[in-house]
Structure 1
C-alpha cells in the first residue's frame, strides 16, 4: 500500500477552513491524509500526554512518522539536558509509547545532518542507535553524499539491510556533498519511506543573506515530475510492502497541493479518514 502525507500539520493553510483553530488542525488534517511526519519531536522530546492527545485526535488507520530528537542525531551542538546519551534515548523512547499503544507508529526517522559523513566512527554510532532502539521500527536518512558514492553505495545499502534500517529515500536538490541522490532501493521488506524536499537548488545551502529556512523547501513539483515518481513508487511497492510518502516542500505552502496531486495521480483512496469539516461561511456562498 502507498500512503501519502505531509511533514507536520500546522503549516498547510489550504487545508483548513477559517474557523479551525491550532488545536483542531490535526483532526482536520486527518480528513485529508492518512499519515503525517511529526517534526516537533526533533526539536524537543514530547510529553506522553501530548502524544496521547495526538493519537486520540486521529482515526484508527492513521499513522505517525516520528523524527528522532536532534540530540540523538547530532544536530544539537549545545549542551544537552541529559546526564548521558543512554538517558536521552530512553526518555525519547518513553515518548513513543502512546503511538505504539494505539498502533499508530509507522516508524521513527533518524535523519542525520549534512556533516555526518561515511566514516568508521559514524558507522559505529549508527549501530549503537539501532541497538538502543531495539524493536522500534526505524528509518535512516543521510544528508552527506559520501554514503552513496559509487564505491560505497552497495555497502551502505547492505549495511542498512543487515541492521534493519528502513531506507528513507530523498528527492532533493543535488548540491555538492551536502545532498544525496534518490537511490531507489528498499532495504526493508515491509516499509520504505520517501521524502520530497523539493528541488530548490539555489536555496538548499545555508547562506548568510537569506532566511534559509524560508527558502530551503520552497518548491512546487510539476505534474510531469510527479508522474515520473508515480512509476518509481509502483516499482518500489514490488519489493517493499508499504510505501510511506512525505511531502516536505512546505516553505511556500506547496506540500498539501502536491500531496493531493500525487494521491490523484496514483488513483489512491483512503477509507479511514475523518469526516471533513466545512467552512462556517460555506452555507452563505
Structure 2
C-alpha cells in the first residue's frame, strides 16, 4: 500500500509504529514524501496539512529548497520509512515545479546531500518537464531516481531495477480520479508490465476512486 497520509501531514511516530505493528510481517508500505519537501505552502494541498506555517517561514518549504526546514522534513520522512521498514519513498512534484535551472539545482543539491539509507527513491514529475525530455532524463539518471509514470499515458525515460507506476485515471489531464479502468485498459497494462526487460520488480499502484476494485481486478488478471 502507498501511504498518502504522509504526504499531507507528518503522523506521530507512535501512529506509524502502530501501523507497522498491526500489519502482517510481509506487508509492504510505500511512503509518499511529505509535501513540505516538494510543495510550497501556497499549494492547495496544504489545506489538508493541519498546520499553519508562520509567514516568515513560508518561503523555506517546498521545491527541494536547500533550507534546514526541508532537510529536517526529509529526516522525519526517512524515520517514518525506517519504522515501517519501507523500501521505496515517492516524491511527487506539482506542475508549478517547473523545469528551470533553479529547480534542477535544488534537486541536485537535495538528493546529493540527503542520507537515503537503503531506500529506493522515486519521482513523479508533472507539468513542463515533459517538454524537455533530455533534461528530465539527465536528472533521473544523475540522481538515480525511479521515474514514476502511468504507462497507459507515457513511457518511463529510464529503466531501473525497480519500476514504479501510479495510475490516476485516463483523460486529458494528469489526474481523473473518477475514471474506472476497463478490462481492455487492464489487459494493455498487463501486456506492458510483463514485456518489460531489465527490471527485477514492478509496482503498479492505483490512485483513483475505484482503486481497490481496479487493483483487485488487475491482480486477478495477472494470476490468470
Alignment match, 2:122: 139
Per mean C-alpha deviation after superposition, the further-off stretch among 121-130 and 83-92 is: 83-92
Could you list the runs of 5+ residues in structure 1 that have no partner in the other structure?
A: 1-35, 173-180, 206-214, 269-285
Q: What's the offset of the Cα at 1:235?
A: 2.5
Alignment match, 1:212: none
The higher-RCO structure (CA 8 Å, 6+ apart) is 1
In the superposition, the TM-score normalised over structure 2's length comes to 0.80
SS at structure 1 position matched to 2:150: strand
Could you list the runs of 5+ residues in structure 2 that have no partner in the other structure?
A: 44-51, 61-66
The 1:225–1:72 alpha-carbon spacing in structure 2 relative to 1, beyond 3 Å, is same
In the superposition, the TM-score normalised over structure 1's length comes to 0.64
SS at structure 1 position matched to 2:139: helix
Moved over 4 A (4+): 81-84
Alignment of 1:1-285 (within 5 A): 36-77=1-42, 80=53, 85-101=67-83, 104-135=85-116, 136-144=119-127, 146-149=128-131, 152-170=132-150, 181-189=153-161, 191-201=162-172, 204=173, 216-236=176-196, 238-250=197-209, 254-267=210-223
Q: How many residues align?
A: 205
Structure whose CA Rg is larger:
1
Whole-angstrom CA distance in 1 between matches of 2:114 and 2:75: 8
Whole-angstrom CA distance in 2 between matches of 1:39 and 1:245: 15
Whole-angstrom CA distance in 1 between matches of 2:108 and 2:159: 16
Whole-angstrom CA distance in 2 between matches of 1:39 and 1:107: 13
1:103-137 deviation per Cα after TM superposition (whole angstroms, max 9, x unaligned):
x3131111000121211111111112312432242
The structure with the largest helix share of the pair is 2
Q: What's the offset of the Cα at 1:257?
A: 0.9
Over the residues paired in the alignment, what is the CA RMSD in angstroms? Answer: 2.6
